[in-house]
């Protein structure tokens, strides 16, 4: 069953009377990598959480091409600062499979495979809370991808990582996208956006100012705010 298109119509998220996002009209199709960019505080994280379904909307609608319950089962979310359970690395990675009834032995086998794939094979017996920042993000990706989600939302997954860790995370994401996982990801790193994006959503003051193919946006944004942002100017 197809999940996409994902359609938001006049979607609004408010908290304590303040509009954080919206109104949003947006249609996302089922292929490629969508990168969400914009200044700090523009609403990128809230937009991702709204699309994923963990930020409650105060107005408007959000619909998938399949029933909502089905869509929720087939997607994942990787936070900027992922939570590590006080268990070993392999137990952390295996946890999503155990939740859906996969046997302990099979879950550990698949978790070991994913640990190897993301470069954590040597850490599987360590406590996850002892990992470095880059290793934690690799674990979070493995934990999200082990269920083969159709779509994965990522909120600035490389925000606090060095160049080497960022490159390794990008390689994992590129492989996931090539294997068919739809990626919708925010970043503050314009180099990363150019490397990964098929299309760009430029967010400012909780509204979508541009939604366009990446090549077109980086060749010349349509709005003056988009052009200023690409120049590195402060956009208010």
pLDDT tens readout for residues 218-230? 998 889 999 988 8
Candidates 109, 118, 163, 164; CA nearest to 138 is 118
- Is the peptide bond preceding residue 160 cis, with omega within 30 degrees of 0? no
How distant, in Å, are the alpha carbons of 15, 20, 50, 74, 184 from that of 56? 10, 11, 7, 19, 19
Return the pLDDT at 162: 82
Specify if 72 maps to a domain: yes
Average pLDDT over residues 187-203: 94
Specify if 121 maps to a domain: no
Return the pLDDT at 200: 96
What's the token pair of residue 25?
């009209």
Specify if 49 maps to a domain: yes
Question: What are the φ/ψ torsions at residue 11 (nearest 5 degrees)?
Answer: -75, 135
Domain hosting 12: range is 6-81+151-163+194-231
Specify if 114 maps to a domain: no
Specify if 132 maps to a domain: no
Calpha distance 110→140 (Å, rounded): 15
Specify if 61 maps to a domain: yes
Output the domain CATH number for residue 37. Answer: 3.40.50.300
Say whether pLDDT at 145 is over 90: yes
Specify if 68 maps to a domain: yes
Strands 199-204 and 182-186, sheet pairing = unpaired
Say whether pLDDT at 5 is over 90: yes
Average pLDDT over residues 94-107: 93
Average pLDDT over residues 44-63: 94
pLDDT tens readout for residues 153-163? 999 988 877 88
Specify if 24 maps to a domain: yes
Domain total in the chain: 1
Say whether pLDDT at 183 is over 80: yes
pLDDT tens readout for residues 61-79? 999 999 999 999 999 999 8
At residue 225, the 3 state secondary structure works out as helix
User: Average pLDDT of the chain?
Assistant: 92
């Amino acid at each position: 069953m197809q999940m996409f298109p994902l359609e938001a119509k006049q979607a609004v998220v408010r908290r304590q009377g303040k509009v954080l996002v919206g109104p949003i009209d947006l249609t996302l199709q089922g292929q490629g990598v969508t990168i969400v960019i914009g200044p700090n505080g523009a609403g990128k994280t809230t937009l991702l959480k709204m699309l994923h379904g963990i930020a409650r909307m105060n107005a408007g609608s959000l619909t998938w091409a399949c029933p909502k319950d089905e869509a929720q089962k087939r997607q994942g979310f990787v936070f900027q600062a992922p939570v590590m359970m006080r268990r070993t690395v392999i137990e952390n990675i295996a946890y999503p499979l155990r939740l859906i009834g996969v046997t302990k032995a099979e879950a550990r086998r698949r978790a070991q495979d994913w640990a190897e794939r993301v470069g954590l094979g040597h850490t599987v017996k360590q406590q996850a809370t002892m990992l470095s920042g880059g290793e934690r993000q690799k674990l979070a990706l493995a934990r999200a991808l082990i269920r083969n989600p159709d779509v994965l939302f990522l909120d600035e997954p490389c925000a606090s990582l060095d160049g080497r860790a960022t490159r390794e995370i990008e390689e994992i994401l590129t492989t996931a996208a090539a294997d068919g996982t739809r990626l919708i990801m925010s970043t503050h790193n314009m180099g990363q956006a150019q490397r990964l994006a098929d299309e760009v959503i430029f967010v400012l003051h909780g509204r979508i100012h541009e939604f366009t193919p990446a090549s077109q946006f980086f060749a010349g944004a349509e709005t003056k705010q988009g052009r200023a942002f690409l120049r590195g100017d402060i956009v208010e």
